[in-house]
Copies of this chain bind each other. A is one copy, B any other.
Amino acid sequence: MPSQSLEYPKQPYSTVNRYDSRASYSLETIHQIINTSPVLHVSFAAPGGGDSPFPAVLPMIGQMGSFARPSADTGDVLDLYLHGYVSSRIVNQARGAGSDGEEEEKKKGLPLTAAATHVDGLVLSLTPNSHSYNYRSAVLFGHAELVTDVAEKLWAMELITNSVVRDRWRHTRVPPNGAEMQSTSILRVKIAGGSAKIRSDMPSDEKADTQDAELVDRVWTGVVPLRLTAGEPLPAPGNRVSEVPAYLREHIGEACSGFEVKP
């Protein structure tokens, strides 16, 4: 555990400009948002250089971790591990990165941005302009490389599988066989910077509106909490385990355990 709360250095690309009182550069805060997001949107410059002006964006599963210096503390300096596919564009680019000796940048790996946003509530105020969400969003910027070490790859696959359902890995057929190891790719993203932005509050209106009695008597204001919840598990046609296992029940129970919005 780090002896003090670590923060990512503010970079021009990572500094929050709007509502900067909602910003955080804390490793722990950012890593928590990333780790609890079931999917990340991973953006990178379109393959082939200037052919397309639009960044590529892929939804990927990711988890923070450190294989070189194992740690379960989200406040530590960690890498982002992403689950990809051999044939997917991002993996091909990460593989290509480093082969071109001309650009120092390329040697670091494929530059990418990973984004996660949890929408925790609808914030309904007196005027459309002061409407908002309660939310937790995070972006991480870094360079991605393909994980080639088998031990690290297996470690990251277990980390990612258990992030989807805690303790799932050892309750399945493991380890993956040769074909499975071949067809799955893991990217390790060395983080260069990051930031988070959080709103968790009741609506806030201008004085001119809160003093308008007709308006206040007419418009309901408050927060509608939102949460990703799990429903009753649906067994597959081929499933022969009659009871939903305890580790899965527990995992789902936590996903359903009420709303976390603190208004």
Contacts and interface: CB of A to CB of B under 8 A. Distances in A.
B248 A236 contact: no
Interface range for A: 35 or more
Contacts of A48: 12
B174 A18 contact: no
A227 B228 CA distance: 5
A20 B205 CA distance: 48
A184 B130 CA distance: 10
Interface stretch (A23-31, A64-72, A73-81, A239-247): A239-247
Chain B CB count within 10 A is highest, among A216, A217, A219, A258, for A219
B245 A220 contact: yes
B231 A59 contact: no
A254 interface: no
Interface of A: 11-13, 17-18, 38-39, 41, 43-46, 48, 51-57, 59, 61, 85, 87-89, 105, 111-113, 115, 117, 119, 122, 124-129, 131, 133, 135, 137, 139, 141-142, 157-158, 161, 164-165, 168-169, 171-174, 176, 180, 183-184, 192, 202-203, 205, 209-210, 212, 215-241, 244-245, 248, 252, 255, 258-259, 261, 263
Nearest to A85: B18
B252 A236 contact: no
A103 B209 CA distance: 46
Contacts of A125: 172, 236
Nearest to A258: B231
A88 B125 CA distance: 22
B236 A221 contact: yes
Contacts of A113: 43, 54-57
A205 B239 CA distance: 11
A54 B240 contact: no
Contacts of A39: 117, 119, 133, 135, 137
Contacts of A85: 18
A119 B38 contact: yes
Residue in A59, A122, A173, A231 with the greatest tally of chain B CB atoms within 10 Å: A173
A59 B137 contact: yes
A50 to B, nearest CB: 9
B220 A235 contact: yes
A228 to B, nearest CB: 5
